[in-house]
Amino acid sequence: MGAGARGLLAVSAAALVAGIAIGFVGGAFRWCLGIADRWRFELLEWAGRAHGKQSPSAGAHDR
Q: If you average pLDDT over residues 36-60, what whole number do you get? A: 80
Quick one: pLDDT at residue 2? 76
Quick one: pLDDT at residue 11? 96
First vs last Cα of the chain: how many Å apart? 55
Instruction: With beta carbons less than 8 A apart as the criterion, state whether 44 and 57 touch.
Output: yes
Burial of residue 19 (CB within 10 Å: 0-12, 13-18, 19+) is exposed
Q: What is the pTM of this model?
A: 0.59
Instruction: With beta carbons less than 8 A apart as the criterion, state whether 55 and 49 touch.
Output: yes
Q: If you average pLDDT over residues 13-30, what whole number do you get? A: 98
User: Greatest CA separation found in the chain?
Assistant: 75
Q: If you average pLDDT over residues 35-55, what whole number do you get? A: 86
pLDDT at 57 over 80: no
More confident: 38 or 3: 38
